[in-house]
Amino acid sequence: MTTDTRPTKSPLTDATPTSPAASSPITHERVSNTDAMDRALHAAEAKFTAGLSPVGLALAWRDWAVHLANQPARRMDLARRAMEDWAAIGRIALGVAEPRVPPCPNDHRFTHPRWDEMPYRLYREQFLRAERWWHEATTGIAGVDPAHERIVDFMARQALDAIAPSNSALLNPEVTDAARTSQGQSVRDGLKNFIQDSAVAMRRHKKLPLEPGRDVAVTPGRVVYRNRLIELIQYAPPTKTVRPEPVLIVPAWIMKYYILDLSPGNSLVRYLTGQGYTVFMMSWHNPNAADRDLSLDDYRSDGVMAALDAVSAITKAKKIHATGYCLGGTLLSIAAAAMARDNDNRLASLSLFAAQTDFTEAGELQLFITEAQLAFLEDLMWRQGYLDTTQMAGAFQMLRSNDLIWSRMIRRYFIGEQEHPNDLMSWNEDATRMPYRMHAEYLRHLFLHNDLAEGRLHAGGQPVAISDITVPIFVVGTERDHIAPWHSVYKMHMLNRGPITFVLTSGGHNAGIVSEPGHPHRYFSIRYRAPDERYLAPEDWQREAAPKDGSWWPEFVNFLDAHSGEAVAPPPIGREEAGYPALEAAPGHYIHEM
């Protein structure tokens, strides 16, 4: 086993002066006493603002308020709509039938039939009309910066959600019905759940419902390489022969790798090994304060490239199928582009699952991507050395507060329901930290400046371009992805003119990828784009690609088969003479880091 040492200066900061990213490099800066005091203040403020920049919020509200103040006709129209809503609410209170205001898509708070009865109908209509009015008041104001509009609309929605009648035990008919029919047992169960959750929240380390290595991440294999950033797992072949091209999977480092190796029945790793492929998986180290200066390029060099070197040495394969999920797919794209630039031809194919390479339509996370917000977040991470799991989880929960905060609170604390977590829910609780320097670079260079898509991102000291990649590409987007919307993932068609197989599958960012054969209600569409074919807009693509029932995993194997050689004897697990001995059994050590 070898452990490499790398220079800590990030090649990302070598951008030319014309690059927007060059104005704010993240380096080993020496901070003055005054800067340190300001940063410490901002880090303290973040504890009370859920990591949101108060300056960024103030700028957004001012932008909205000033533009709205200069549009008197729009204000008059809003006043008219408010009066119409109040008149309608008054008629509902008197028992007059009024058209029901539909809730927003995916809002299931008012599905209980008693919400159609008085007085609950009145509470619901008051809330939904207020929600509709505030959305109209905060969006579509001419002249407001789109980023500021998103922030104002988001904050208004958060405030309204907090006072929704569904969140009140006395105003929610589902809660009162449960208390009456259970003779108060639901109230006692809810209190018990609250006490249990409060006790768990005070613990430093939370026990997962399903334990990696025992309940999940149980596909047999061995750790065959470890450095400061990754463990590389090689899985044991269940077949007598394998394809000569191994599969290397690069998972996201925001969570643990085993989203792709959950239970035996829905493990992509187990499925691929069963189809005759030698599979390697990277397991990321969970960074701490000592890792604050790890850069995005360190993740490429000590992560993807180190793993590729190990796979090549162990299997002696000339070509490797590289697969990346979420952030891992973005990093793999950077690595593949750098390899193409440097005439490194070891890749047989490139597969990207819910991974973005163009960030102009980067989903709900764009809410937090402004200059003010990133400066504030950088000060928080600078103080700690990393972004904590609770801070990251809080941001995601706010984006979907109805589902992840309020609805859970109602069902668990008001109705007293017990949770029965499955493997995917348990994995979702197993978050990791993000080192200060890498995360700041990632957000600035990719989300804020879109440097990868626009050819400004540097890897190994030189710029990279997705257009340089020439290997066949397999891309998967998911219909209900809030993190990497499929329209954004689809933009690979604009960045690379090579052969692309694009799959659009049902489900969201996680469940759409964990889509094993036999899973009910799954469907997907698939279409191949030849190198000489003209660009097809995503809406046109969706019309032309007919949906198919079932899992997309077999199509992925078909893609790999089409670019693989005839089956051969499996390679050894590790290769000690090459410096890659077989170490402990999978899932290894890094997966257990808290």
The Cα-based distances of 71 to 77, 140, 154, 222, 451 in angstroms read 10, 12, 22, 66, 36
User: Would you state the pLDDT for residue 15?
Assistant: 40
Selection from 277, 280, 333, 353 nearest residue 561 by Cα: 277
* pLDDT value at 523 more than 60: yes
Of the candidate ranges 346-350, 410-414, 476-480, 549-553, the one whose mean pLDDT is the lowest:
410-414
Neighbouring residues of 220: CB distance < 8 A, sequence distance ≥ 6: 235, 236, 585, 586
With bands split at pLDDT 50, 70 and 90, how would you rate the model's confidence at 4? very low
Mean pLDDT of the 371-383 span: 83
Average pLDDT, integer, range 390-415: 72
Q: Is the pLDDT of residue 29 over 60?
A: no
Q: Which amino acid is at 461?
A: G
User: How far, in Å, CA of 240 to CA of 242, rounded?
Assistant: 7
The pLDDT tens digits for 63-85 are: 999 999 999 999 999 999 999 99
Q: Which residues lie closer than 8 Å to 390 by C-beta, 6 or more apart?
A: none
CA 172 to CA 165: how far, in whole Å? Answer: 6
At 3, is the pLDDT very low, low, confident or very high (cuts 50, 70, 90)?
A: very low
Cα 11 to Cα 19, 337, 374, 441: the distances in Å are: 14, 15, 20, 11
Q: What is the pLDDT of residue 40?
A: 82
Examine the pLDDT at 23 and tell me if it is beyond 60. no
If pLDDT is split at 50, 70 and 90, which confidence band does 388 have? confident
Please report the pLDDT score of residue 41 as a whole number: 82
Residue 441's closest CA among 425, 459, 455, 426?
459
Q: What is the pLDDT of residues 243-278, one digit of tens each?
A: 999 999 999 998 899 999 999 999 999 999 999 999
Average pLDDT over residues 306-315: 98
**Mean pLDDT comparison of 113-117, 279-283, 405-409, highest-scoring range:** 279-283
Phi, psi at residue 565, to the nearest 5°?
Answer: -90, -175
- Confidence at residue 210, expressed as pLDDT on a 0 to 100 scale: 87
- The mean per-residue pLDDT over the stretch 470-491 comes to 95
CATH 3.40.50.1820 in the chain is located at 221-360+450-592
pLDDT in tens, 188-224: 988 898 888 787 767 666 678 889 999 999 999 999 9
What distance in Å separates the CA atoms of residue 68 and residue 160, rounded to the nearest whole number? 20
State the catalytic residues. Answer: 326
pLDDT of 2 above 50: no
The average confidence (pLDDT) of the chain is: 89
Q: Is 545 helix (H, G, I), strand (E, B) or coil?
A: coil
Cβ-based neighbours of 341, under 8 Å, separated by 6 or more: 462, 464, 465, 468
For residue 393, what pLDDT is reported? 62
pLDDT at position 401 over 70: no
- Can you give the pLDDT at residue 461? 93
pLDDT value of residue 366:
78
pLDDT tens string 324-364 = 999 999 999 999 999 999 999 999 999 999 999 999 988 77
CATH topology of domain 221-360+450-592: Rossmann fold (3.40.50)
Residues 242, 570: contact at Cβ < 8 Å?
yes
Radius of gyration of the chain (CA): 26
- How much is the pLDDT for 426? 84
